[in-house]
Structure 1
């Protein structure tokens, strides 16, 4: 049996490649989201078919717009998260449509402009406060844009209800699988940790070990986010499938600590130990999500370094009841942008929307909704780098206009048009998960068909491409002229927070118990992954003249190595200070 000193926890590390979440996960094979594509096609085609059958074509088109926005917010995350996000999308867009419709029916141009500015201020004020708040604010503004730009005949209350019904249809389709596979998303996320842990163990002692370890850490981060609502005292007491998933996640956290120590030790492992994650997955996650090879016989006991002993101990401990306190892991609280940043964003968004509205009135009056609508879609710095988003919006619009122009020439029948909408709706659902330009392509094509059904028969293909380019340019000029350092500031703040979390882990780990140590480690790795994502976003924005961005990646890599070293010492039982 080797000693703690033999495990070489202080061995010099080779410089790590700056692996980021996107670069690592981008290598993983992915499948097309056929279920989401089917939901998108059905959600957009069904309202139109109902409208054609009942004669309520205008309201059906409004409902299809709601379905279109719902498809843009459909996801593969846990069902309760989807319900919340889609619910707020429907409510906020319906309220926005109602406000815009009232302003338009007043007949006062100033009322329309004031409504747009007010909605932009609200959207900007809540836009940097989290995903659901940001989505709600954006769809409030989109609702006002459509409501104030497209006159709809009939009672004032019908269009908002139709829009809400379209989003509700997507919600029902997205959440329906909960009835027969309630915890499918959670099980898949936890199982991914065990599979990536097995890959990391097989890569131990090789050049790919660091990449495999980071892939496991990212899988564990994702599982932690998915499982977070269940990690409560109430969830610990349950003995149903939720309790089993919580227990499996608890062991996944312990497995992640052991695997990190093994990778740090830098030694190749025998097959008896590389099978540990597979064996644990088969014991803790039985069922159809665990592949047959994951229900293998238990590996033979192996002794050796502290990391390998920790793996062997997991096999022994899996049959026992975990300590309830071990399951009280909480996600780290990410401090969002401060009040000054939120106010600046709200004012910039309102200014861009007002400028787009005025420009639209000059160029296209009436029905100049495309320009402010594009601003609402593009100016979302919390959704990723702004410059690529604007570029992809333009590219997607150009291709979407060309595609719908070509298809429309061939699709002459009414039901053929519905089929076209279904196809592009499915394409949009795929694009939402893979690329913003592809999502924009599908959205642009569907919007052209729906606007035609709403009575806007003008040949505006080229005009809409120009409008998209104008709105994107307006956003980029305003943002980078007034707020050029927003992305670097976010990257710097997130990097500092991540490095501080790693140091807290280093300082507290020697005296901490297993529960506190796991919590500190999870917080540090979560913060480091978020820092890498934010830095990658900042790198994709236009470079500042004469002011190169700092080398944040080196600080993040050093902090990751520090966390690995602290973990190795903790597993080895040594408490001497580390760098």
Structure 2
């Protein structure tokens, strides 16, 4: 599942709750799940249409609001890996040998575990390879061997087309929204200057800038400038201006003086000038003398802000650096091997337990293990609890719906509704996504002819699989999240110290690069620490105060930024 919004991920601050709902994604989820079933109902090809709907279900779980090139790549790998898994599992099941089925599941789990901690797309691909094998080896499907993988791939492709279609008329919407979020949060940080909320507001601006940096990274590479369209050049220029704005705002927050409305409204006015008509709210015209400090006032931050405002119409600055994202921290080989072994062991035990409890078609247990055991997707303990809660509510909801909705078209409408709910859940809450997925899977299995009484069984199986994962992980690898938090905190503090030591002796471009790296790694460390806090701790052991070290490093970076801006202002006099 796509990673949920963790505390600190930038959020929109405009438009209320309804505006924050991903209505377009919900519509895509409903359409992607309903269309294959409608085609199957009209043509009589029920089985291929249901398999295509399963592919669409997995595609909806990986749909996102990130740049189109990223979501296309993720959905393409989701389709290919799940189709290959379904093919391998189906062929193993057709062979009729239980040992072959078990070996296929184990091999898929080892591959999924090996890929799981190597990056976002690799992790998603490995998980869906395992899911494909689990379903293929657990549900006998009539027809030629090649038909189920092709139908599954068609369902994922449908989601890909629906998700990427807006590229035709709003090509760089995600990049534009991310850059504008920096200007909005910069205005909020200026409004909070001199108050108790100033540090938290600066942190929100930094997170928005980190997110914009990630989204814009492909356009910031040195070679990208040669072939950029006018719209992309406009966005790159606005991003570089946002980086300079972030430095000036950080200096003003560090100065800890309340600011007049003419200053706090300047970021939105800058956004209107750099990206005309695209800011979230109109900003009044601001004169440079309104931004500059009063005569005799010692405010380097306001002078830097005034200089930025005065220079924004001068065109791109050739000194703008090709800002690179800092290298992402990944677990080492030993951690990857341990995770792959644990995942394979959990899948094996779940498969044997399912065979003992249910006989054939006992795929729910190993499938739940594949969904739950994703330590790179957030706190494992919370994920397991949300999986159980979502399954319980999903089973209750679909049971009530089945009593009230007779008729094939009504059932398809139910699938569309729960598909839309799942699309909302994958962006906001894992339990909500699980609720939608559980309800849809029940309908699809009913259409495949599995009319066993499974309501209570699915709840018990989900609880068993979740307990199996938690027991195995916290017995064998209880400190994984703590080790990750410690390593990322040490790397972030080292980056902050490097910024402190080198910033006074470097030019503006190198200083921006050092500052971006330090703040970016500090934010990632804070997120890793929050994940470690969400996991159980062994009795008698307490986690270090990593937050204090991160906060101290952030304040040191704020001070270095303020001093650097003051030094640049003195040189410009």
TM-score by length of 1: 0.94
User: What is the distance in 1 between the residues matched to 2:450 and 2:80?
Assistant: 26
Q: Which residue of 2 aligns with 1:550?
A: 544
SS in 1 for 2:331: coil
User: What is the distance in 1 between the residues matched to 2:167 and 2:357?
Assistant: 48
Residue pair 1:279, 1:298 contacting (<8 A) in 2 also: no
User: What is the distance in 2 between the residues matched to 1:227 and 1:23?
Assistant: 19
SS in 2 for 1:326: coil
Q: Which residue of 2 aligns with 1:5?
A: none
Q: Which residue of 1 aligns with 2:128?
A: 139
What do residues 245-264 of structure 1 show as CA deviations (whole Å, max 9, x unaligned)? Answer: 00000000000000000000
SS in 2 for 1:333: coil
Report the Cα offset of residue 232 of structure 1. 1.8
**Within the alignment, does 1:213 sit opposite 2:197 as a pair?**
no
Residue pair 1:275, 1:299 contacting (<8 A) in 2 also: no
Residue pair 2:425, 2:432 contacting (<8 A) in 1 also: yes
Q: Which residue of 1 aligns with 2:333?
A: 339
Q: Which residue of 2 aligns with 1:233?
A: 222
Q: Which residue of 1 aligns with 2:260?
A: 270
Q: Which residue of 1 aligns with 2:270?
A: 280
User: What is the distance in 2 between the residues matched to 1:163 and 1:329?
Assistant: 40
SS in 2 for 1:542: coil
**Within the alignment, does 1:320 sit opposite 2:287 as a pair?**
no
User: What is the distance in 1 between the residues matched to 2:243 and 2:136?
Assistant: 49
User: What is the distance in 2 between the residues matched to 1:419 and 1:396?
Assistant: 20
What do residues 425-462 of structure 1 show as CA deviations (whole Å, max 9, x unaligned)? Answer: 00101110111000000000000010111121111100
- RMSD after superposition: 1.7
Report the Cα offset of residue 233 of structure 1. 2.5
2:241 to 211, 230, 251: 251
SS in 2 for 1:293: coil
What do residues 222-257 of structure 1 show as CA deviations (whole Å, max 9, x unaligned)? Answer: 111111110022433435100000000000000000
Structure 2's unaligned 5+ residue stretches are: none
Residue pair 2:110, 2:344 contacting (<8 A) in 1 also: yes
Residue pair 1:273, 1:312 contacting (<8 A) in 2 also: no
Residue pair 1:93, 1:140 contacting (<8 A) in 2 also: yes
Residue pair 1:112, 1:148 contacting (<8 A) in 2 also: yes
**Within the alignment, does 1:446 sit opposite 2:440 as a pair?**
yes
SS in 2 for 1:550: coil
**Superposition map of 1:95-494 within 5 A:** 95-237=84-226, 238=228, 240-287=230-277, 289-291=278-280, 293-294=282-283, 296-301=285-290, 302-303=292-293, 304=297, 305-494=299-488
Q: Which residue of 1 aligns with 2:491?
A: 497
Report the Cα offset of residue 58 of structure 1. 0.4
User: What is the distance in 1 between the residues matched to 2:33 and 2:485?
Assistant: 39
Report the Cα offset of residue 326 of structure 1. 1.5
User: What is the distance in 2 between the residues matched to 1:21 and 1:180?
Assistant: 30
User: What is the distance in 2 between the residues matched to 1:357 and 1:444?
Assistant: 20
**Within the alignment, does 1:39 sit opposite 2:23 as a pair?**
no
How many residue pairs get aligned? The number is 556
SS in 2 for 1:250: helix
Q: Which residue of 2 aligns with 1:7?
A: none
Q: Which residue of 2 aligns with 1:93?
A: 82
Structure 1's unaligned 5+ residue stretches are: 1-19
1:567 to 556, 561, 570: 561
